[in-house]
């Protein structure tokens, strides 16, 4: 693409990908004349088209479809644009036996404008403003005609490199009750080279998949006997969890947060009061007592925390009260949702609830945003995220609890905090929690899938439902406000993100094993020095292992490389004689070109120091 501006290139990519969606649809139509089409938009790396064939497609059909697409590309059919009044378009959709297009057109006619967001404006031949719809546009290539706003490339021969990637079920218009269509995905780029690079990038991403690394680095495991969605951490994985817990506890202390502790189940009545039982009944694990009571495993911790608040009278002078804990919660997720550490049935959260006065909301929410920002900055993750300002769906008020006026106030306050900290938050309607608006901090996994970690949620509703109060300056009883918050969200997701972010090469303070001592041979002197070194390292809280196996040094080094151990020292005659060590440092940690020698004390002292510089010390 010589002499083409990035903007023009972007436009071409979009038009070309969209054209490929049409070409794919044409090919499918030739192969299966009965095919009914849904929508076929452009996505980040290519395009897809939703198709109802009355039968399932499988990857085995890809070769056939791709071959047909190449035929159409060789035919170099021009893309012709034309317009029809909406009523004629409806006649067209009826005659062409395209019920999905017909539904879109009918909805469009009824709505009258493009303002209704779920009308897939891009798919329809309509302008993207609020103007009255009169005409809709079509594009035709060969004998295939599709409702479409365009633009397209001139002809089918003008598209770039593509590859059909996958097929998946997708509900028509994203609604679970609707028929399921086949969504055919394709990757497309301007050149073969870019396509190859993209495919290579996907292969690379798979290598840092936390499920693969979790197995290779011996961090966590699943068992069919224990059950799906129930991860277990090995000793190595648990080290990481514990280090993070320690860091969080350190932060908590510095910000006057108080650790609390609650049991993992409660009577269902607790969640009837909170409102969770109604909205999330399907996801509750129920536990039957022998004595006529029904319990549920806690799916959240806020109701328990309200009962700690309620355990004694509170004064305005007591507030804010910041309860936090690191605890496991349980949700009976649908089998199809579970996967790796991204969504599990039991997961540990760093949950916290601040009870405060309305005039303290700003300060409390601001503090949390600051803590979150610092925490992620220090792990190098800040900037790899976006913030969702999640508010109510105005069309579905029944999905929420609490007064509308409280909601408005809460939304305004959070918006202000978000503004002040330049969070660049995207307003997401319908993404709020049942009890209030929230700021969600979203991150991407190795394969580009989004996941929510940190969150700050305002809640005027739940304290009222539990009848929580404090006594204000004039002796009046007032409901407190609750702020639900998490810094890392769930440990499972957070660990997933860390594994993939570092590709398993954890910073020293998180590394399950910080130092490995390798012996050159099994003589007594060397083994003795190894044992001594290990003892000294352990005294300094360095996580250390000795490899005194009867194997070559090369082999032992290779093992430490594969396990991504940060520091390795080899002990042989040389070291025994000189008493000096020449550490081998994992590449990403080493700033020096050449290996340097240290006395045992120097080396261990430096290492112990570096290992302490965890996220809290530098930041908070």
Partner RNA sequence: GCCACCUUAGCUCAGUUGGUAGAGCAGCGGUUUUGUAAACCGCAGGUCGUCGGUUCGAGCCCGACAGGUGGCUCCA
Query: Which residue in 262, 358, 557, 608 binds RNA (CB under 7 A)?
Result: 557
Residue partners of 245: CB distance under 8 A and separation at least 6: 326, 350
Q: What are phi and psi of 349, to 5 degrees?
A: -115, 155
* Binding to RNA in span 445-464, by CB under 7 A: 447, 449, 457
- What is the C-alpha end-to-end distance of the chain, expressed in Å? 49
Report the alpha-carbon distance of residue 6 to residue 219 in Å, rounded: 43
* Binding to RNA in span 468-487, by CB under 7 A: 484
Query: Which residue in 189, 575, 607, 615 binds RNA (CB under 7 A)?
Result: 575
∠ at Cα 112 (111, 114), nearest 5°?
80
Query: Which residue in 522, 599, 609, 613 binds RNA (CB under 7 A)?
Result: 522
Stretch in the footprint of RNA (CB under 7 A) among 233-241, 260-268, 275-283, 505-513: 275-283
Least Å distance between CB 443 and RNA?
Answer: 13
Query: Which residue in 3, 6, 54, 174 binds RNA (CB under 7 A)?
Result: 174
* Binding to RNA in span 340-379, by CB under 7 A: 340, 343
Residue partners of 48: CB distance under 8 A and separation at least 6: 21, 40, 41, 183, 184, 185, 186
Least Å distance between CB 462 and RNA?
Answer: 9
Stretch in the footprint of RNA (CB under 7 A) among 55-63, 151-159, 411-419, 537-545: 55-63
Stretch in the footprint of RNA (CB under 7 A) among 14-22, 75-83, 128-136, 219-227: 219-227
* Binding to RNA in span 59-78, by CB under 7 A: 59
Stretch in the footprint of RNA (CB under 7 A) among 328-336, 403-411, 419-427, 507-515: 328-336
Long-range contacts made by residues 405-409, C-beta under 8 angstroms, separation at least 24? Answer: 406/460, 406/461, 407/436, 407/437, 407/460, 409/358, 409/460
Q: What is the DSSP letter of 480?
A: P
Element (DSSP H or E) covering residue 386: strand 385-391
* Binding to RNA in span 112-141, by CB under 7 A: none
Stretch in the footprint of RNA (CB under 7 A) among 99-107, 154-162, 414-422, 564-572: 564-572
Long-range contacts made by residues 248-253, C-beta under 8 angstroms, separation at least 24? Answer: 248/326, 248/350, 248/487, 248/488, 250/616, 250/620, 251/371, 251/375, 251/487, 251/616, 251/620, 252/324
Q: Applying CB under 7 A, what is the total number of residues that bind RNA?
A: 70
Quick check: 286 binds RNA (CB under 7 A)? Answer: no
Query: Which residue in 133, 187, 302, 410 binds RNA (CB under 7 A)?
Result: 302
Closest CA to 573 of 517, 604, 515, 529: 529
Quick check: 385 binds RNA (CB under 7 A)? Answer: no
Stretch in the footprint of RNA (CB under 7 A) among 4-12, 498-506, 507-515, 554-562: 554-562
Report the alpha-carbon distance of residue 186 to residue 488 in Å, rounded: 34
Query: Which residue in 253, 574, 612, 617 binds RNA (CB under 7 A)?
Result: 574
Least Å distance between CB 78 and RNA?
Answer: 32
Report the alpha-carbon distance of residue 571 to residue 542 in Å, rounded: 18
Quick check: 228 binds RNA (CB under 7 A)? Answer: yes
DSSP 81-135: EEEEEHHHHHHHHHHTT-HHHHHHHHHHHHH-BTT-GGG-GGGTTS-SSSSBP-E
Quick check: 280 binds RNA (CB under 7 A)? Answer: yes
Stretch in the footprint of RNA (CB under 7 A) among 57-65, 90-98, 111-119, 378-386: 57-65
One character per residue 418-447, x = contact with RNA (rule: CB under 7 A) = ---------------xx------------x
Quick check: 337 binds RNA (CB under 7 A)? Answer: yes
Of the CA atoms within 13 Å of residue 109, those in its CB half-sphere come to: 14
Quick check: 9 binds RNA (CB under 7 A)? Answer: no
Stretch in the footprint of RNA (CB under 7 A) among 9-17, 332-340, 466-474, 499-507: 332-340
Element (DSSP H or E) covering residue 586: none
Quick check: 527 binds RNA (CB under 7 A)? Answer: no
**For the purposes of burial, counting CB atoms within 10 Å of the CB of 223, is it exposed (0-12), middle (13-18) or buried (19 or more)?**
exposed
Is residue 391 within 8 A of residue 437, CB to CB? The reply is: yes
For residue 17, say if its preceding peptide bond is cis, omega within 30 degrees of 0: no
DSSP 562-574: HTT-SEEEEESHH
Closest CA to 207 of 503, 560, 562, 558: 503
Nearer Cβ to RNA (344/478): 344
Quick check: 182 binds RNA (CB under 7 A)? Answer: yes
Nearer Cβ to RNA (90/165): 165
Quick check: 520 binds RNA (CB under 7 A)? Answer: yes
Quick check: 334 binds RNA (CB under 7 A)? Answer: yes
Quick check: 169 binds RNA (CB under 7 A)? Answer: yes
Chain position carrying tokens 């062409």: 96
Report the alpha-carbon distance of residue 273 to residue 462 in Å, rounded: 9
Quick check: 161 binds RNA (CB under 7 A)? Answer: no
Which residues form the interface with RNA (CB under 7 A)? 56-59, 166-171, 174-176, 180, 182-183, 209, 211, 215, 222, 224, 227-229, 276, 280, 283-284, 299-300, 302, 331, 333-340, 343, 433-434, 447, 449, 457, 484, 520-523, 550-555, 557-558, 561-562, 568, 570-575, 582, 584
């Amino acid at each position: 693409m010589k002499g083409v501006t990035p903007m023009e290139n972007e436009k071409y990519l979009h038009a070309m990908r969209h054209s490929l969606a049409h070409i794919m649809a044409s090919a499918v139509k030739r192969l299966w004349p009965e095919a009914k089409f849904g929508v076929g938009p452009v996505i980040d790396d290519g395009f897809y088209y939703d198709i109802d064939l009355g039968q399932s497609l499988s990857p085995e059909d890809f070769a056939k479809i791709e071959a047909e697409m190449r035929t159409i590309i060789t035919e170099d059919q021009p893309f012709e644009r034309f317009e029809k009044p909406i009523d004629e378009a409806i006649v067209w959709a009826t005659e062409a036996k395209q019920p999905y297009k017909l539904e879109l057109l009918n909805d469009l006619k009824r709505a009258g404008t493009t303002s209704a967001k779920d009308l897939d404006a891009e798919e329809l031949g309509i302008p993207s403003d609020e103007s009255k719809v009169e005409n809709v546009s079509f594009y035709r290539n060969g004998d295939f005609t599709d409702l479409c706003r365009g633009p397209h490339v001139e002809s089918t021969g003008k598209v770039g490199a593509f590859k059909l990637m996958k097929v998946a079920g997708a509900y028509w218009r994203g609604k679970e009750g609707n028929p399921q269509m086949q969504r055919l995905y394709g990757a497309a780029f301007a050149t073969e080279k870019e396509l190859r690079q993209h495919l290579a990038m996907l292969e690379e991403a798979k290598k840092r998949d936390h499920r693969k690394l979790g197995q290779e680095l011996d961090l966590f495991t699943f068992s069919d006997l224990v059950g799906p969605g129930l991860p277990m951490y090995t000793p190595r994985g648990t080290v990481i969890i514990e280090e993070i817990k320690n860091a969080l506890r350190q932060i908590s202390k510095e910000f006057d947060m108080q650790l609390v502790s609650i049991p993992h189940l409660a009577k269902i009545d607790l969640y009837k009061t909170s409102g969770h039982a109604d909205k999330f009944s399907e996801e509750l694990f129920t536990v039957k007592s022998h004595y006529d009571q029904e319990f549920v495993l806690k799916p959240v911790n806020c109701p328990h925390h309200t009962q700690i608040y309620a355990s004694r009278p509170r004064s305005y002078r007591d507030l804010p009260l910041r309860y936090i804990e690191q605890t496991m919660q349980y949700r009976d997720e649908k089998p199809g949702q579970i996967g790796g550490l991204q969504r599990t049935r039991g997961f540990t959260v760093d949950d916290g609830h601040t009870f405060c006065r309305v005039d303290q909301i700003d300060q409390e929410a601001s503090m949390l945003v600051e803590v979150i920002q610092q925490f992620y900055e220090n792990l190098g993750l800040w900037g790899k995220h976006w913030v969702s300002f999640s508010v109510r769906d105005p069309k579905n008020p029944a999905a929420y609890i609490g007064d509308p006026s409280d909601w408005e106030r809460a939304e305004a306050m959070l918006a202000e905090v978000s503004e002040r900290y330049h969070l660049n938050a995207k307003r997401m309607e319908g993404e709020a929690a049942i009890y209030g608006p929230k700021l969600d901090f979203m991150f991407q996994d190795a394969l580009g899938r989004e996941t929510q970690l940190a969150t700050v949620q305002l809640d005027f509703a739940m304290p009222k439902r539990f009848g929580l109060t404090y006594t204000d300056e004039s002796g009046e009883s007032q409901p407190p406000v609750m702020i639900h918050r998490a810094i890392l969200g769930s440990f499972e997701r957070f660990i997933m993100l860390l594994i993939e972010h570092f590709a398993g090469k954890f910073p020293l303070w998180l590394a399950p094993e910080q130092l490995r001592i390798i012996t050159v041979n099994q003589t007594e002197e060397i083994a003795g020095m190894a044992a001594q070194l290990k003892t000294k390292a352990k005294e300094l809280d360095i996580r250390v292992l000795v490899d005194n196996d009867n194997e070559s040094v090369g082999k032992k080094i290779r093992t430490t490389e594969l396990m991504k151990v940060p520091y390795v020292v080899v002990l042989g005659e040389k070291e025994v004689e000189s008493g000096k060590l020449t550490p081998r440092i994992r590449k990403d940690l080493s700033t020096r070109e050449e290996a340097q020698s240290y006395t045992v004390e120097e080396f261990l002292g430096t290492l112990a120091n570096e290992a302490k510089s965890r996220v809290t010390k530098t930041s908070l």
